[in-house]
């Protein structure tokens, strides 16, 4: 099934809502070399319409984030990268939030942390980047996983599954395989998203997608609808920026800035 604008249904905000009632997001990630990934993801989640985003990250990453934006709260952890000993801390922290995004810029050194946390987390999840490399499909049952093609191959290998049979094991999980055409898999259906262009091969565009997905999920609680919204939105933003810049010179940060204009377009409220 090809995703069209008619299938995009944005969460509707009540006029009487208060702070925190439109979604609280925890993003776990960041490392010494990858500060920007969590910033892009966090800002994309905020632009999607949520009220609050906290980045749980190594301490130095947290201070760097404060230099980049005043819009994100940080939960600084005194470490250079997450390890298994930080699992209890992360599980305690997640209790304050509606949903969790994990993996952006987190580093493969944190593989044991990601695996242990994901197996024990009780929250709806969006799993991206290096966290995808650390998990099996069977380890989670209420998640959106966002691998690119190479990460998808590794996910199947780690799960000891194949492209032919993996959908049977998805339970409630959704897998978005990013590419020239994004493919969304559920246990029984396949959706194709054809928005987007080759300019989106730049670093950071996947972080924006993950941020949109977790933001929509925090507001709606609907895994599939959030995946559809995020992929269509992300690609359409890329297409708009391609026209504005007359080519592929746009950046992932430009995509974050464009989200606010996209939100004002005529999409169906949920």
- ∠ CA 121-227-193, rounded to 5°: 150
The span from the CA of 216 to the CA of 152, in Å, is 23
The answer to whether the Cα torsion of 82, 88, 89, 90 is positive or negative is: positive
Is 86 annotated as belonging to a binding site? no
Is 207 annotated as belonging to a binding site? yes
Task: Report residue 80 as tokens.
Answer: 């250079």
Tracing tokens 């730049």 back to the chain, one arrives at: 202
The CA distances from residue 138 to 135, 156, 158, 233, in Å, are 8, 11, 10, 29
Whether residue 94 contacts residue 64, with contact meaning beta carbons closer than 8 Å, is answered with no
- Distance in angstroms between the alpha carbons of the first and the last residue of the chain: 20
Q: Of 226, 229, 227, 218, which is closest to residue 262 (Cα–Cα)?
A: 229
Task: Please report the DSSP string for 39-93 in residue order.
Answer: HHHHHHHHHHT-SEEEEEEEHHHHHHHHHH-SS-EEEEESSSS--GGGHHHHHHH
The span from the CA of 98 to the CA of 78, in Å, is 24
Is 206 annotated as belonging to a binding site? yes
3-state SS class at 248: coil
Count the neighbouring beta carbons within 10 Å of the beta carbon of residue 122: 10
Task: Report residue 48 as tokens.
Answer: 């999607």
Sequence ranges of the binding site for AMP: 206
Extract the annotated binding site: 37, 105, 148, 206-207
Residue positions forming the annotated binding site for (6S)-NADPHX: 37, 105, 148, 207
């Amino acid at each position: 099934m090809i995703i069209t604008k008619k299938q995009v249904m944005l969460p509707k905000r009540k006029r009487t809502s208060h702070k925190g009632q439109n979604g609280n997001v925890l993003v776990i990630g960041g490392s010494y070399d990858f500060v920007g990934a969590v910033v892009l993801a966090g800002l994309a989640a905020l632009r999607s319409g949520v009220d609050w985003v906290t980045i749980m990250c190594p301490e130095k990453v947290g201070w760097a984030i404060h230099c980049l934006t005043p819009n994100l709260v940080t939960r600084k952890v005194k470490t250079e990268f997450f390890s298994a000993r930080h699992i209890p801390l992360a599980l305690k922290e997640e209790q304050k939030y509606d949903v969790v995004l994990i993996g952006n810029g987190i580093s493969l050194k944190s593989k044991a942390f990601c695996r242990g946390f994901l197996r024990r987390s009780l929250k709806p999840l969006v799993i991206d980047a290096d966290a995808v490399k650390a998990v099996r499909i069977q380890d989670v049952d209420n998640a959106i996983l966002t691998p690119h093609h190479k990460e998808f191959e590794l996910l199947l290998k780690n799960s000891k599954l194949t492209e032919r049979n993996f959908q049977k094991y998805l339970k409630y999980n959704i897998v978005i395989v990013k590419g020239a055409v994004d493919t969304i898999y559920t246990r029984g259906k396949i959706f194709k998203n054809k928005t987007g262009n080759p300019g989106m091969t730049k670093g950071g565009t996947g972080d924006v997608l993950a941020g949109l997905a977790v933001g929509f999920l925090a507001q709606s609680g609907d895994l599939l609808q959030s995946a559809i919204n995020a992929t269509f939105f992300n690609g359409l933003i890329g297409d708009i920026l391609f026209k504005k810049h007359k080519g592929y010179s746009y950046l992932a940060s430009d995509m974050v800035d464009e989200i606010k204009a996209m939100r004002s377009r005529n999409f169906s409220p949920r």
